[in-house]
Amino acid sequence: MTGNYSEELGAVKSDLQTLKNDLAKLSNSLKVDAQANASELRDNAKTKFKAARNNAMEAGTKGKEKAQVTIKKNPIVSIAATAGLGLIVGALMAKR
């Protein structure tokens, strides 16, 4: 009976070692996959950030150009609007 017990104990130890090795391989595989996914997500975020920045810069440039054209077409109205805005901001700041 002792011999059989020793064989079974050896088999269990072998199975545990195999399980340990398999878990180590799985852990390494998950690590590699996570790093690859993180890299891909980082690259996608950079691409989207650059696109958003370019869109914002383009919109700002278009708005600036449109404002310049409007000011050139209607200089008196532009001066009056700016003065009115200055009065409003001044009044709001004076209340504080």
Per-residue pLDDT of 39-72, as tens digits, reads 899 999 999 999 999 999 999 999 999 989 988 9
Give me the pLDDT at residue 10, please. Answer: 85
How far apart CA 58 and CA 65 sit, in angstroms, is 11
Between CA 96 and CA 85 the distance in angstroms is 17
pTM over 0.75: no
78 Cβ contact list (under 8 Å, min separation 6): 70, 71
Q: Is the Cα torsion angle 7, 13, 17, 19 positive or negative in sign?
A: positive
